[in-house]
Structure 1
């Protein structure tokens, strides 16, 4: 196996700011963007698991359970839509947010693959918070489109 399996798990003591909301998974190839999103999610009360690799993300999906996943559609080493379908299979109750540079066909395909919503990049922390709220509110017990 040529690539190393590397991911980071972090938490932040909340001191009554927010209740702990569970685990979030950030799959973003850009180190700075990944760190900023993970920090914002920790400020929202999530423990974060982070990786820049779609292949590592597929491995991690079998190891942990999360309540929220953010997946960049422009992964250099994996097909993001296939990864979203896989995450939806192993984490049927998780909120999944696709990260895309615009609201084009990629956003539509991400929804079909199993993403609850799409967040346009770059984005603000307020937009991230709104996307988390929107994705968390989806009813995943309803039948999914074929």
Structure 2
């Protein structure tokens, strides 16, 4: 029996440093990251590939984060969603769209813990 496929994640944030640090964390966790600096780039990538997880900043320059997440749900209903934002009120308004929310500035530990829990729960779901 072949080993399980390495999970993949789409990281959507217009801040280069957050994208790169999140990608490094994911790589260490054994998750293959793909990076998008805009919502439109993320949507293009979604048409070409399936992702197990999306980590999405709500404040993107080209599309409202909640609108992007709605499009993700339409394209890949089984994809896990983690929302990131520095605005706690905004997180609370769209919390229902995500599997987990992380407030910025975020610690690597908090993000890693959230991702670990989501991926573990997702792997244990019956087909």
Scaled by the length of structure 2, what TM-score is found?
A: 0.84
Equivalences for residues 116-131 of structure 1 within 5 A: 116-131=99-114
Q: Distance in 2 between matches of 1:38 and 1:109?
A: 27
Kindly report the root-mean-square deviation, in angstroms, between the aligned alpha carbons of the 2 structures.
Answer: 1.9
Equivalences for residues 24-63 of structure 1 within 5 A: 24-63=9-48
Q: Paired residue for 1:135?
A: 118
Q: Distance in 1 between matches of 2:26 and 2:5?
A: 11
Q: Is the 8 A contact 1:111 1:117 kept in 2?
A: yes
Moved >2 Å (runs of 4+)? 108-112, 133-138
Number of aligned pairs? Answer: 119
Q: Paired residue for 1:14?
A: none
Structure 2 CA distance for partners of 1:129 and 1:20, relative to 1, 3 Å: farther
Structure 2 CA distance for partners of 1:98 and 1:111, relative to 1, 3 Å: same
Higher normalized helix content (fraction of residues): 2
Unaligned ranges ≥5, structure 2: none
Unaligned ranges ≥5, structure 1: 1-18, 142-146
Q: Distance in 1 between matches of 2:42 and 2:33?
A: 13
